[in-house]
Structure 1
Amino acid sequence: MKTNMLGLPIAESEKIVKELNTLLSNFQVYYQNLRGIHWNIRGKRFFDLHVKFEELYNDAQLKIDMIAERVLTIGGTPLHRFEDYLKHNQLEIGHNISKDETAVQLIVSSLTDLLKIERDILKKTAEIGDEGTNSMMSDFISEQEKTIWMMNAWLEESI
């Protein structure tokens, strides 16, 4: 079995690169959704949500860079064109969202969809001993689960 410079099987690593590029594409859409709701949010909760959405898009931007660098580390090339992102996107794309509950629901929905992709990557990387990618996915998952919990708690309060 041929391995890459990290000692991971090349054929399986190429499959992981594809999965990571799908995740990268979806994170780019998530990031743009967050920017849009950050810019367009209105209402009595504006000040709190505006700051929270900025926190989330800054975090997403860091994760985008981490994913792209992991693709490079395991021997691939990260996608970097908007048409590629849209081709691989599985998230709902928000448009002119200014209502607080709609914005938070979009975040919960997006994170839930990202979790599905990440758990699939987690399973595949565990099978080939790709601890670097596995660890990154595990960290993303635990952070996003907490954010989903917090956002759902906020939604309950606002009913």
Structure 2
Amino acid sequence: LLQLGATPENRFSEYLKVSSIKETGNQPTGKEGVETVLNNLSNLIKQERELSKLASEIDDNATVGLIDGFLEGQEKTVWMLVSFLDKSYKK
């Protein structure tokens, strides 16, 4: 952000104000916990795809590469968690 002339936020309380992922106040376990992680990852992936698209439109290849790397790892994690849920909770 500094290289792009912006000032990064450094307070967690400010991140919470603008985040689409909210704290739940509980500690879900089992299937509920995995589903919470999946929902949050899906939210992040959607936002990151949009960010990658916007960065591409302004030829910011460094940001595109960074975000695409995040997406690759997160999409693999989603695939593994969905596979786990399908195998573990079909009963």
Q: Which 4+ runs in 1 deviate beyond 6 A?
A: none
Between the aligned residues of both structures, percent identity stands at: 34
Compared CA separation, residues 105 and 77, structure 1 to 2 (3 A): same
Q: Which residue of 2 aligns with 1:155?
A: 85
Q: Which residue of 1 aligns with 2:44?
A: 114
Q: Which has the higher contact order (CA 8 A, sep 6+)?
A: 1
CA RMSD of aligned residues (A): 1.3
Q: Secondary structure at the match of 1:143?
A: helix
Q: Which residue of 2 aligns with 1:133?
A: 63
Inter-partner Cα distance in structure 1 for 2:36 and 2:21? 9
The TM-score normalised by the length of structure 1 is 0.52
> Residue 100 of structure 1 is aligned with which of 27, 30, 51?
30
Q: Secondary structure at the match of 1:73?
A: coil
Q: 1:73: how far off?
A: 2.5
Q: Secondary structure at the match of 1:95?
A: coil
The TM-score normalised by the length of structure 2 is 0.88
Q: Gaps spanning 5+ residues in structure 1: where?
A: 1-70
Q: Report the count of equivalent residues.
A: 89
Post-superposition Cα deviations, 1:23-75, rounded to whole Å, max 9, x if no partner, equal xxxxxxxxxxxxxxxxxxxxxxxxxxxxxxxxxxxxxxxxxxxxxxxx22222
> Residue 14 of structure 2 is aligned with which of 72, 84, 89?
84
Inter-partner Cα distance in structure 1 for 2:35 and 2:57? 34
Residues 48 and 67, structure 2, Cα contact 8 Å, conserved in 1: yes
More helix by share: 1
Residues 126 and 134, structure 1, Cα contact 8 Å, conserved in 2: yes
